Structure 1
Amino acid sequence: MKTLLSGRKMKAADAYAIEQIGIPSVVLMERAALAVALRAEKAADAFGPGCHIWALCGAGNNGADGVAAARMLHLKGYRTTIFMAGREEKGTQELQLQLSIARRLGIPVKTWERMKEEPGGCQVLLDGLFGVGLSREIEGEYKRCMELAGEILTGKNGIQEGPSSESVPQGTGIYGKYPTTSSKPWCIAIDIPSGIHSGTGAVMEIALQADETVTFGWEKMGTAVYPGRSFAGTVTVADIGFPKEALQAEPEEEEPISIAYACEKADLMRVPERKAYSNKGTFGRVLIAAGSKNMSGAAYLSALGAYRSGAGLVKILTVEENRAVLQTLLPEAIIASYTPEQLLGGREDFKEMIEEQMKWADVVVLGPGLGNEPYVEYLVEDILTSAFVPVIIDADGLNTIASHPYLTSYYTENIVITPHLGEMARLTGQKTEEIQADLFGAAFSYATHYGITCVLKDAATVTAGREGALYINTSGTSAMAKAGSGDVLTGILAGLMALGLEEEEAAYLGVYIHGLAGEEVSKNGLHSLLATELARAAGTVMAGTKGGNKTE
């Protein structure tokens, strides 16, 4: 499991390493600068002789890292120039030390305005303007500086043409290879792209687009979610000597959200082993309450996802009209059906039927494709009041709760909700843009308020546990933005719970597996993915788990 920190938490860890452990700040800075310089060398060498490296630096320690990296590159024979934003005399002690060393070595130090006059332009730019401490909108001189830097980075300022995409080094950071262009400078962000909020990933009025980000100690939460993730390029986490004990340090100002986690391939081993001496009941019973008249697709995809992720038995509870098609699509599933008239006309009898279904199930899925007919409210209520097992609420189940808020009174600690941004907006009454601006905060607030698990779906899905633990998903691809993808995810979560995983663990691990399945299918192209292929690919991913290894 990978650890990600907010900016305040990172600053607290940095202070702990310096003040409590006794590691000199200049030692940490030199190691950070070396990590940046090593990446800059690879980019500069791709441009060939005459490559000009610029270090655009602010007055804080992020700027000092940039100055130190420029000095290291200068000493290796690269042509480097330092451009300063802000008032030098107001800079940190470390910045002033690094600038004095640079000047003694004859490295040009100029004001940021001089960038537009520099002969030959820039081929590699080190972005050291703002670090993880940025907490307010950028304006004034710094904004003008970043606007000019943005023009330079997009090739709109008469910049010398760069190398072909084949010659620029390809990144191998946590988000895989990144694209290159042939007509603009290469930008390396120091710790975090300037203008990105380190905790939320929000753009603070303006931000610089990096091709890669070299971050220190731990990745920052702001580069794992969008839009920050799209500005970071490839992220490389450099070990500069922070001890693990530094994670104990708490920010000076109280901060409810300061740490998050992300799955890695090794976490697939958390999936329980499939014992040899077992039967279909050993691996759990999943009940899926889904589908409306002549709308069976969501029910099918959820059931397929549950089977592909390991469930032993899957029963679909749906309207009678869907029986024939579901039996044809997925003969492995058990079908239990009802009519809306039964539900509305014989409430007590229907409740008894639901109670019997709940006794059968180990996990319940509630919502995919249910529609918004009046009877759906009663179906949702009957299931929530009768379930004593984990219930995953998705799609129209969530929309029904949003329309009838009293249903939240039936939430228990074994509830998992899986809203996309629009559904979350309906549940909370917030605007979609507000939720998207702080995914961590939105998921955390809802999960901890109701004591449930919340899987907030976006391009980078955030899962919040009922006690506030946060997980950000780093797997997946844009190809997964297709109808039915969310239904498959719901089924995968149910299958993992049926195998015995607790709600929170099944939620974040299921999202990760779902993303890996998307990557697998996308090998055939980003446009052609189908949800059924996604479900099948989940089985391929599951083959790499402790209990799913293929036998020779």
Structure 2
Amino acid sequence: MNIYNAKQTRQIEAAIAAAGTDYLQMMEQAGQAVARNILCQSTTNPDQTKAVILCGQGNNGGDGLVVARRLCQEGWEVSVVFPGGLSKTPDSIHMLERLKALSVSILDPLNSPNEKENAFSLIRSAHWIVDALFGIGFHGIIGEPYDEYIKAVEESKATVVAIDIPSGAHCDTGLVQGPCIQADHTVTFFSHKPAHLIYPAAQYCGKLKVEPLSFTHQMEASIETMQHTPVFEEVKNWFPSRHPNSHKGSFGKLLCICGKAGMTGAAELSAKAAMRCGAGLTYLMTPKDACTALSCKLTEPVLIPLSQSSEGTLSHQSIPTILEQLSSTSACLIGCGMGDNAQTQAVLDAVLQHAKCPVIIDADGINALSHHIDRLKEPTAPVILTPHPGEMSRLTGKSIAEIQENRLQTAMEFVQEYPVTLVLKGAGTIIALPDGHIWINSTGNPGMAKGGSGDVLAGMISAFVAQGIEVGNAVVAAVYLHGLAGDRGVQHFSQHAMLASDLISMLPGIFLDLEK
């Protein structure tokens, strides 16, 4: 599913207008869609029909005026509050004039100060509050007089519905730099916007509803976007049916170079996830002491013990054996629980220099890479990196705070400098592809914030790549399904109790749905 930023949304609106549907009609449809959503949700509490519509002076406020009109026509007690003054754009002025014909209370406290306390009283007593203040054009920090109204909304007990995005959130970056409406529901139109998926803005959206307006589908196709979010049916199409005459070699040979003595959990989780995700053959190369421990836990993967350093990590003496196995593999995963020292850095160097298959670098592999990141400038094969913000900090030299403040820009800049596929993990994981396309994931939950979850993801990505799924699709599918496993897992285990291994236990049910 495509994501459109503020500029692209305006281009779509302009194309619709050029095709004969004017902005007033668009405003009417948008406002009616929001009102329908409110009316549908209100059926559980049919007596709660007191609504306050907070309107800005622009077209987002105009959408809110349509909502007010429709709710009034349904018999609701509706009040409209203009914290910053009455409508200014021609279309919103038109909608305001239409509203004046109905029994709706319209307050302009900026120009009529005696109405201010009444406005706050209405907010305190409202059952529903609609945020139609700023919309997708907002940037910066909300100040007076809007900030005190946002505070009043925050203190109210009303159900809050935002139109397009919560006021105070930046549409294109997901930044929230000051006061922001905390919505229970956000209704947007024809597509996701970046702020719906990128944190911190995403957490202010509540439950998101994308309304497919009748006149937008054809115009969307005419506006190119490089940003997307995966949905189940799209991901499902990336998995080909298995031919009846298949054998284990048909589904790839995956090489995992993971683990060290005393740190076998990451290797175990990544290998198990890879097997559950359909890799035909999985070879796990690990230091001999780790191999002994893992042999009691893993039966399906082929375990290959390697020489180890005095620290229990892989020794550089294991490189010839690794390269021999690497030459006949479909994908290589390196780094999970591997440790970071001169020996493992030498192993990673050798893999990157000789690999002809895609290489997935996770965890300690990323830490080892950070010492000599320029080796990514001209990779010999596709490279996939899966850093969390701390690892991304080591790769870029930026602070974690800098990265989290603008995750999208950080990911885009990285792949412009290094021709790799980047998976910047976290809430709203961002996948940046070397061709410039960006995917923002919508699945997952805080219950996945446990040690080992990233190892499961690394195994899933590696398995899909090994099976020959196109690299970008394989990565996006793995991130989406990993989050879906977490979302299904919390229904069984709860966010508090769910473990990384529980994600793997959710995969069979997911693949049953994919194969239908």
Give the shorter-chain TM-score range.
over 0.9
Q: Secondary structure at the match of 1:213?
A: strand
Q: Give the conservation status (yes or no) of the 8 Å contact 1:12–1:249.
A: no
Q: CA deviation at 1:398?
A: 0.5
- 2-side partners of 1:93 and 1:218: how far apart? 25
Residues 409-450 of structure 1 deviation map (CA, whole Å, 9 limit, x = unaligned): 453451011111111111111121222222222222212321
- 2-side partners of 1:455 and 1:341: how far apart? 30
- 2-side partners of 1:413 and 1:248: how far apart? 33
**Of residues 147, 155, 158 in structure 2, which corresponds to 1:151?**
155
- 1-side partners of 2:182 and 2:363: how far apart? 35
Q: CA deviation at 1:21?
A: 1.2
Q: 1:363-378 counterparts in 2 under 5 A?
A: 363-378=331-346
- 2-side partners of 1:97 and 1:373: how far apart? 68
AA in 1 matched with 2:155:
E
AA in 1 matched with 2:343:
Y
- 1-side partners of 2:80 and 2:86: how far apart? 12
Within the alignment, does 1:527 sit opposite 2:500 as a pair? no
Within the alignment, does 1:419 sit opposite 2:387 as a pair? yes
Q: 1:436-451 counterparts in 2 under 5 A?
A: 436-451=404-419
Aligned equivalent of 2:4:
5
Within the alignment, does 1:128 sit opposite 2:132 as a pair? yes
- 1-side partners of 2:342 and 2:210: how far apart? 52
Q: Secondary structure at the match of 1:31?
A: helix
Within the alignment, does 1:237 sit opposite 2:210 as a pair? yes
AA in 2 matched with 1:497:
V
Q: 1:141 to 1:323 in 2, by over 3 A?
A: same
Unaligned runs of 5+ in 2: 110-115
Q: 1:239 to 1:278 in 2, by over 3 A?
A: closer
Q: 1:357-506 counterparts in 2 under 5 A?
A: 357-409=325-377, 411-412=379-380, 414-506=382-474
Residues 130-152 of structure 1 deviation map (CA, whole Å, 9 limit, x = unaligned): 10011222222222332233233
AA in 1 matched with 2:7:
R
- 2-side partners of 1:17 and 1:264: how far apart? 29
Q: 1:149-548 counterparts in 2 under 5 A?
A: 149-152=153-156, 184-247=157-220, 259-341=227-309, 350-409=318-377, 411-412=379-380, 414-524=382-492, 525-546=494-515
Unaligned runs of 5+ in 1: 153-183, 252-256
Aligned equivalent of 2:89:
92
- 1-side partners of 2:58 and 2:262: how far apart? 62
TM-score, scaled to structure 2: 0.93
AA in 2 matched with 1:396:
D
- 1-side partners of 2:75 and 2:276: how far apart? 56
Q: CA deviation at 1:96?
A: 0.9
Q: Secondary structure at the match of 2:513?
A: coil
Aligned equivalent of 1:180:
none
- 2-side partners of 1:190 and 1:119: how far apart? 17
Q: What is the alpha-carbon root mean square deviation over aligned residues?
A: 2.3
Q: CA deviation at 1:314?
A: 0.7
Q: Give the conservation status (yes or no) of the 8 Å contact 2:333–2:459.
A: yes
AA in 2 matched with 1:138:
I
- 1-side partners of 2:184 and 2:451: how far apart? 31
Aligned equivalent of 1:118:
122
Residues 431-470 of structure 1 deviation map (CA, whole Å, 9 limit, x = unaligned): 2122222222222221232111111110221111111111
AA in 1 matched with 2:147:
K
Aligned equivalent of 1:61:
59
Q: Give the conservation status (yes or no) of the 8 Å contact 2:258–2:266.
A: yes
- 1-side partners of 2:379 and 2:274: how far apart? 23
Aligned equivalent of 1:29:
27
AA in 1 matched with 2:255:
L
- 2-side partners of 1:345 and 1:216: how far apart? 53
Q: Give the conservation status (yes or no) of the 8 Å contact 2:123–2:129.
A: no
Q: CA deviation at 1:38?
A: 1.2
- 2-side partners of 1:419 and 1:192: how far apart? 29
AA in 1 matched with 2:292:
A
Residues 359-398 of structure 1 deviation map (CA, whole Å, 9 limit, x = unaligned): 1211000100011232111011011111110000000010
Q: 1:29 to 1:523 in 2, by over 3 A?
A: same
Q: CA deviation at 1:72?
A: 1.2
Aligned equivalent of 2:15:
16
Q: CA deviation at 1:509?
A: 0.3
Q: 1:292 to 1:249 in 2, by over 3 A?
A: same
Q: Secondary structure at the match of 1:509?
A: helix
- 2-side partners of 1:413 and 1:427: how far apart? 20
Residues 81-109 of structure 1 deviation map (CA, whole Å, 9 limit, x = unaligned): 110122326x1111111111111224211
Q: CA deviation at 1:8?
A: 1.8
Q: Give the conservation status (yes or no) of the 8 Å contact 1:14–1:242.
A: no
AA in 2 matched with 1:195:
G
Q: CA deviation at 1:44?
A: 4.2
Aligned equivalent of 2:99:
102
Residues 208-230 of structure 1 deviation map (CA, whole Å, 9 limit, x = unaligned): 11111111111211011222221
**Of residues 81, 84, 96 in structure 2, which corresponds to 1:83?**
81
Aligned equivalent of 1:140:
144
Q: 1:150 to 1:345 in 2, by over 3 A?
A: closer
Q: Give the conservation status (yes or no) of the 8 Å contact 2:15–2:219.
A: yes
AA in 1 matched with 2:93:
Q
AA in 2 matched with 1:444:
M
Q: Secondary structure at the match of 1:132?
A: helix
Q: 1:483 to 1:346 in 2, by over 3 A?
A: closer
AA in 2 matched with 1:130:
F
Q: Give the conservation status (yes or no) of the 8 Å contact 1:4–1:262.
A: no
Q: Secondary structure at the match of 1:199?
A: coil
- 1-side partners of 2:381 and 2:74: how far apart? 59
AA in 1 matched with 2:178:
E
Q: Which is worse superposed, 42-51 or 218-227?
A: 42-51
Q: Which is worse superposed, 312-321 or 411-420?
A: 411-420
Q: 1:27 to 1:393 in 2, by over 3 A?
A: same
AA in 2 matched with 1:30:
E
Q: 1:48 to 1:247 in 2, by over 3 A?
A: closer
- 2-side partners of 1:383 and 1:137: how far apart? 48
Q: Secondary structure at the match of 2:327?
A: helix
Aligned equivalent of 2:39:
41
Q: Which is worse superposed, 384-393 or 270-279?
A: 270-279
Q: CA deviation at 1:403?
A: 2.5
Q: Secondary structure at the match of 2:125?
A: coil
Q: Secondary structure at the match of 1:205?
A: coil
Q: Give the conservation status (yes or no) of the 8 Å contact 2:315–2:344.
A: no
Q: Percent identity?
A: 30
